Amino acid sequence: MDDADAAVIAAAEQHVKECLSAALLPRPTDCLACYLHRAVDRWGCDGKLTLTHEWQGHQRRMRRRTGGLTAYLKSRGGYCDCEVLMNVYPDREPDDNPQSARCPHPYQ
């Protein structure tokens, strides 16, 4: 195999990897719980509500109101992204179907 072949194969492998990880990317159109499931899986919790605030930013761009969300989450024991999942949405099963455009839950 010469160098040109090796380069083509390497590029193809890279493409497959990118496609696979795209299926696992958090979808900001999902509800907060499903978004956090994916986002915490991928980036981990940093002990704050960083990913929750990111989701809120996406909602704002789609003109969805999320006012008072942080206060609501904290009142239920969600002081960081993984606590939100554990304490606020313990019963919400994440939607892991990469084919669907968004999960079937209400937004919050």
Stretch that binds Zn ion, among 5-13, 55-63, 66-74, 79-87 (CB under 5 A): 79-87
Residue 45 found at the interface with Zn ion (CB under 5 A): yes
> Using CB under 5 A, which of the segments 3-11, 16-24, 25-33, 62-70 binds Zn ion?
25-33
Does residue number 27 form part of the binding site for Zn ion (CB under 5 A)?
A: no
Output 39 or 103, the one with its CB closest to Zn ion: 103
Report how far residue 86's alpha carbon sits from residue 84's, in angstroms, rounded to the nearest whole number: 6
Return d(Cα 50, Cα 7) in angstroms, integer: 39
Q: Which residues, other chains included, contact 58 with Cβ-Cβ below 8 Å and sequence gap of 6+?
A: 28, 29
